[in-house]
Structure 1
Amino acid sequence: MLNNDTIIALSTPPGSGAIGVIRLSGPEAISLTNQVFASKDLEQQATHTLHFGLIKDGEVMVDEVVVALFVGPKSYTKENVVEISCHGSNYIIQQIISLLVSKGARAAKPGEFTLRAFLNGGLDLSQAEAVADLIASDNKASHEVAMQQMRGGFSSELKDLREQLIHFASMIELELDFAEEDVEFANRDQLLALVQRINKVLHRLIHSFEVGNVIKNGVPVVIAGKPNVGKSTLLNALLNEERAIVSDIAGTTRDTIEDEININGVVFRFIDTAGIRETADVIEAKGVERTLDKMKQAKLIIYLVDAQETEAEVLVQLEGLSKQSIPYLFIVNKAELLNASQKDFYQQQGALLISAKEKLGMDVLETALLEKVNLSHVNTSETLVTNIRHVEALKQTQNALNRVLENIHNPVTSDFLAMDIKQALHYLGEITGTVTTDDLLENIFTKFCIGK
């Protein structure tokens, strides 16, 4: 998959700006740039240096630029890399890229720079995926997790596990070579202890995905309740903008509306839903059905009731809500209408009292949201799995090792143990890229932006 050609792409976001950065990588990155750079001879300059000069197309000046040189292997891709900082005009950027393409460069594909970094040994596959997570990070926690993985925290933990398994795999392979002598090179008690120890680590990593996925993708929170209790008003109050249509007519919201906010470093994805009730309206009924589906998929439910509902109606709703396996916050809207007795009743039910229209109690609600997701105790310097591909591979590794445990206790030949240990090594290798296929790499790197 590794090409020897030189690739080029814009690495800054498209559109007009103060500067644009054009990146080249490949064996001829420096020599091609040198052909259009009217200043020093770039091929005679040291790595990691900056050079001011002109980009010229023949005698025509295109722009004043700063060229950064990174001579391989001391670069991101481990190849010769040039980064040209020019003025951020779309016209100028396209002129420079077209000029260098005419000299022999090729337009880069999505993620091709990082793919080359992986293929050239600069990053393993999990680190490469962390690069994409780092670019997409939009809060402190997701940034810290992506940085920890990109710097090899997850990789080093997996490397230790693989090395220990490889030792026993080699010992068992040796036993197979001396099968006729009936000798045992791999101590079964030590193998048992090792597999049990690795399984504990795998369990911790798999379990960490629940938190890691929330940090990476945000907490999906469904705002549910009967029609006209103020769900859309609450969404608008949380977002501090008129995102959803508000009306006194019941059933106004017929489809889900989603938006997100960052509360103390945690991203919450709020989903305003159609009111839950029986209806003959086909479209509204479809909205109610979607509401129930979204509630099943949520990590947290904000269940809203109107202050004017009767205690009996509220208790029926609470009974149904308590049967949900998903955590919820019980919220009473229009709390300014409550008398002392009603407030006492709702407080006994563990309700939070707010007024979405007047934006009262929003700070208390935000605090309750943070407490429910319970991320304040999470140490983002520890290894947290954030990628579903990694989780599936870890589960497959665990299944293979569980078969090893079964076979240790049963009178089976060494070749069965060897086969299951090889399977475990295979799945661990899929995470870091020790084991890859072209389809896997294409699936991962085509999701990157062009220029990275």
Structure 2
Amino acid sequence: MISQETIVALASPSGAGAIAVIRISGSNAIAIAESVFQSVSGKALSRQKTHTIHLGHIVEDGKVYDQVLLSIFKNPHSYTGEDVIEISCHGSTFIQQQIIQLLLRKGCRMAQAGEFTLRAFLNGKLDLSQAEAVADLIASDNEASHQIAMQQMRGGFSNEIAKLREELLNFASLIELELDFAEEDVEFADRSQFRELLTRIEFVLKRLIDSFAVGNVIKNGIPVAIVGEPNVGKSTLLNALLNEERAIVSDIAGTTRDTIEDELVINGIGFRFIDTAGIRETEDVVESIGIKKTFEKIEQAQVIIYMMDSSQLALDDESLKEVWIELEKIKNQFPLKALVVIGNKADKLTNDQVVHLKTNIPNILLLSAKDKQGIDDLKNQLLSFVNTGALRNNETIVTNTRHYDSLLKALEEIQKVRFGLDSNLSSDLMAIDIKQALYYFGEITGEVTNDELLGNIFANFCIGK
């Protein structure tokens, strides 16, 4: 399936910059590069050692395109496992295109999205889960997602799966051997050891499956909806969290008529804050549309920050009862979402009023968004919703939906095998479920694959990687 064509693409971001990197990979990479490169030392490129860098010019028929640095990586000691050339040229988009077009005329083909990493996988330089981690590493925009991608790219996840698969495969071989000697009625596979193995595999699979909830949050960020009545300080809170004037603030109720979103990284975890229109009864058509969008954003959020003006609530017990009713509505309507109750404008409260509020609304977080008091307490409470213990312990965390799906299916098959073992089913029936479990393990790392699967995975990569 590995294409023998030599491919080329821009490996650095498109657009003008100080330098650009053009990558070539394939059996003719060195020969094609040598046909357009003149070293200042006069040495032939094909005779140079791998992992060396050479200064020279890209030329065609006496025309000099640019002075460049050219790096050589000879197979199999390269990213793709093939001969690879990387040309570092000046970052003019004109120069980039001129050099790429020249290489195309000399016999290269434009690389498809993810084709360099696809070749690395097909040549055994990476397994499939490691290849997917490359894309996650490129897309990582906070410390936590970067840490997970690096751990997976180094093979942490692959090693766990490979070890389980190898042990299960050994027992599968013994089960198959029993089938060959069915008439002798012998057991080559120790059933007690097999039961222990299944218990261990189930434990690991459940841990990996459970980690997906955390991994998905870390990878994609946690959506947080800031809701409440008009003029309680929702936009001021957003500005305080982001430390910039992102949302318009005024004393006029209903100023925010559309949702405003922005992201903030707190201790390596990404949070996507959504400032919503104030919830109230209104005849204003535009404001009504904004309120409708507020409820849509609450549906999408994982955390709801319900905000109130504490300076008003502290003096009015009737308002406190209304707040209780509103909070119960939110909890009943969104039972699976984390809820943070905030009393804003706490700088206006007396000590007695603070005690009164905390007594009547347990777990309320009092702060002053305007003065940025209590913002760190809010950040800590948001972080408490994310289980980062696995990160600190360097445990494997699953972030890929495809891996999650295969793990679920593998667990289902392992549980079928356990049921067969406990029910004293025949070896041939257990062998079917074991093979299916091995199939799903193989799907994760790439021992089992097909062209359609690879096409779907690598189509999401950027060109040049």
Instruction: Give the TM-score band, short-chain normalised.
Output: over 0.9
Instruction: Read off the aligned partner of 1:9 and give its amino acid letter.
Output: A
Distance across 1 between alignment mates of 2:84 and 2:19: 19
Aligned partners of 2:341 and 2:364 also within 8 Å:
yes
CA offset at residue 162 of structure 1?
A: 0.3
Structure 1, gaps ≥5 residues long: none
Instruction: Read off the aligned partner of 2:277 and give its amino acid letter.
Output: A
The residue aligned with 1:325 is 336
Give per-residue Cα distances to partners, 1:129-153, cap 9 Å, x unaligned: 1111111112222222111110111
The residue aligned with 1:15 is 15
Distance across 1 between alignment mates of 2:126 and 2:102: 31
1:337 aligns with 2:340: no
Structure 2, gaps ≥5 residues long: 314-318
Distance across 2 between alignment mates of 1:394 and 1:376: 21
Aligned partners of 2:214 and 2:387 also within 8 Å:
no
The residue aligned with 2:236 is 233
Aligned length: 452
Distance across 1 between alignment mates of 2:121 and 2:34: 27
For residue 346 of structure 1, the aligned residue among 357, 360, 371 is 357
CA offset at residue 297 of structure 1?
A: 4.0
1:446 aligns with 2:459: yes
Instruction: Read off the aligned partner of 2:371 and give its amino acid letter.
Output: E
Aligned partners of 1:244 and 1:257 also within 8 Å:
yes
Distance across 2 between alignment mates of 1:42 and 1:380: 47
Distance across 1 between alignment mates of 2:434 and 2:259: 47
Q: Compared with structure 1, are the counterparts of its residues 244 and 376 closer, same or farther at alpha carbon in structure 2 (3 Å cutoff)?
A: farther
Instruction: Read off the aligned partner of 2:268 and give its amino acid letter.
Output: G
1:408 aligns with 2:421: yes
The TM-score, its normalising length taken from structure 1, stands at: 0.94
Aligned partners of 2:20 and 2:89 also within 8 Å:
yes
For residue 129 of structure 2, the aligned residue among 114, 123, 126 is 126
Instruction: Read off the aligned partner of 2:232 and give its amino acid letter.
Output: V
Give per-residue Cα distances to partners, 1:256-280, cap 9 Å, x unaligned: 3321011222211112223334556
The residue aligned with 1:35 is 35
Q: Compared with structure 1, are the counterparts of its residues 216 and 61 closer, same or farther at alpha carbon in structure 2 (3 Å cutoff)?
A: same
**SS state of the match for residue 378, structure 1?**
helix
**SS state of the match for residue 329, structure 1?**
strand
For residue 371 of structure 1, the aligned residue among 375, 384, 387 is 384
Distance across 2 between alignment mates of 1:90 and 1:229: 50
1:148 aligns with 2:151: yes
CA offset at residue 296 of structure 1?
A: 4.2
**SS state of the match for residue 386, structure 1?**
coil
Distance across 2 between alignment mates of 1:62 and 1:18: 16
Aligned partners of 2:259 and 2:277 also within 8 Å:
yes
Distance across 1 between alignment mates of 2:448 and 2:248: 51
The residue aligned with 1:5 is 5
The residue aligned with 1:258 is 261
For residue 75 of structure 2, the aligned residue among 72, 85, 96 is 72
Aligned partners of 2:390 and 2:396 also within 8 Å:
no
Bigger Cα displacement from structure 2, 369-378 vs 110-119: 369-378
The residue aligned with 2:222 is 219
CA offset at residue 335 of structure 1?
A: 2.0
Bigger Cα displacement from structure 2, 213-222 vs 96-105: 213-222
Distance across 2 between alignment mates of 1:256 and 1:175: 65
1:157 aligns with 2:160: yes
**SS state of the match for residue 373, structure 1?**
coil
CA offset at residue 416 of structure 1?
A: 1.4
Distance across 2 between alignment mates of 1:411 and 1:293: 52
Instruction: Read off the aligned partner of 1:10 and give its amino acid letter.
Output: L
CA offset at residue 357 of structure 1?
A: 3.0
Distance across 1 between alignment mates of 2:156 and 2:122: 20
1:312 aligns with 2:321: yes
**SS state of the match for residue 77, structure 1?**
coil
Bigger Cα displacement from structure 2, 341-350 vs 370-379: 370-379
For residue 394 of structure 2, the aligned residue among 373, 381, 393 is 381
Give per-residue Cα distances to partners, 1:194-247, cap 9 Å, x unaligned: 111100011111111122222222222121222332222221221123333444
Give per-residue Cα distances to partners, 1:363-391, cap 9 Å, x unaligned: 33223322343436732622111111111
Q: Compared with structure 1, are the counterparts of its residues 24 and 343 closer, same or farther at alpha carbon in structure 2 (3 Å cutoff)?
A: same
CA offset at residue 252 of structure 1?
A: 4.3
Distance across 1 between alignment mates of 2:366 and 2:93: 53
Q: CA RMSD in A?
A: 2.0
CA offset at residue 322 of structure 1?
A: 4.5
Distance across 2 between alignment mates of 1:225 and 1:33: 63
Distance across 2 between alignment mates of 1:288 and 1:449: 38
CA offset at residue 70 of structure 1?
A: 0.1
The TM-score, its normalising length taken from structure 2, stands at: 0.92
Aligned partners of 1:144 and 1:380 also within 8 Å:
no
Identity %: 59
Give per-residue Cα distances to partners, 1:67-100, cap 9 Å, x unaligned: 0000000000000000000111111111110000
1:165-314 correspondence runs (5 A): 165-278=168-281, 284=287, 287-307=290-310, 308-309=312-313, 310-314=319-323
Q: Compared with structure 1, are the counterparts of its residues 216 and 99 closer, same or farther at alpha carbon in structure 2 (3 Å cutoff)?
A: same
Distance across 1 between alignment mates of 2:457 and 2:245: 37
Instruction: Read off the aligned partner of 2:177 and give its amino acid letter.
Output: L
For residue 439 of structure 2, the aligned residue among 426, 430, 434 is 426
